Structure 1
Amino acid sequence: MYKVIFHNANQVFEVFARQIYQSDMWGFIEIEEFVFGERSQIVVDPSEEKLKNEFAGVKRTYIPYQSVIRIDEVEREGSSKISEVPANTTGSNVTRLPFASMVPPPSDD
């Protein structure tokens, strides 16, 4: 089981999946078999419900490497969630830049 945290627009998604691996499409990881909490819970987390709807019917998703914040292998799933990233956060010393220098490996041809 894996916990994957990644940027999507001005949000941070935290999802759980059974399969994750490097994609054949250069610069992406593939995430398969999403796992969400039990529907039998009395308390419903709106951000987890939003993620369930976002990935409903999705067999596999491709996430660009530069969007990935962290990948953890975990023993069991937790609660998936979406966090808002405030625009123009003052005092932040972290800047996200696109990976313009990412060059595919040379082919054997």
Structure 2
Amino acid sequence: MAKSLYKITFLNHGKIYELYGRHVAASSLWGFTEVGELVFDVHDGIVVDPTEERLRDEFAGTKVLHLPMQSIVRIEEVERKGQSVIRDAESGERVVTPFPLPAKPR
């Protein structure tokens, strides 16, 4: 039997994060929800999605997230993983890290 997969949408520093994890439960810390076993796409070589890479780097080494209940927007049990994203909380548009451009010569 395959383990359940959850899409967790939560607010963090004015941005809406959408992550995937295999474990969601009430935390032992009062007022928090525990999210564990985070799932990220693993790509060898070329980075296909910079947001996914950014989230993987941000949460590298994280065993369990303890999210305040007030920050959670939604938790959904899903059949398969979609794209992990970061959105602007006000506009709902994806936050994309621009590709660094060389500085103009003076």
Structure 2 length-normalised TM: 0.75
Q: Mean alpha-carbon deviation: is it higher for 5-14 or for 34-43?
A: 34-43
Structure 1 length-normalised TM: 0.73
Structure 2 alignment gaps of length 5 or more: 92-106
Aligned with 2:81 (options 77, 81, 101): 77
Indicate the SS of the match to 1:61. strand
The match for 1:36 is: 40
Does the CA contact (< 8 Å) of 1:37 and 1:78 recur in 2? no
Residues 70-101 of structure 1: CA distance to partner in whole angstroms, max 9, x if unpaired? Answer: 00000111111111224xx7xxxxxxxxxxxx
Aligned with 1:9 (options 10, 13, 17): 13
Q: Which amino acid aligns with 1:79?
A: Q
What is the distance in 2 between the residues matched to 1:41 and 1:13?
25
Structure 1 alignment gaps of length 5 or more: 90-109
Identity of aligned residues (%): 45
Cα RMSD over matched residues? 1.6
Indicate the SS of the match to 2:34. strand
Equivalent residues in 2 for 1:84-95, closer than 5 Å = 84-86=88-90
How many residues are matched?
87
The match for 2:72 is: 68
What is the distance in 2 between the residues matched to 1:52 and 1:45?
11
Q: Which amino acid aligns with 1:77?
A: K
Aligned with 1:55 (options 39, 42, 59): 59
Structure 1 runs (4+) deviating above 2 angstroms are 40-43
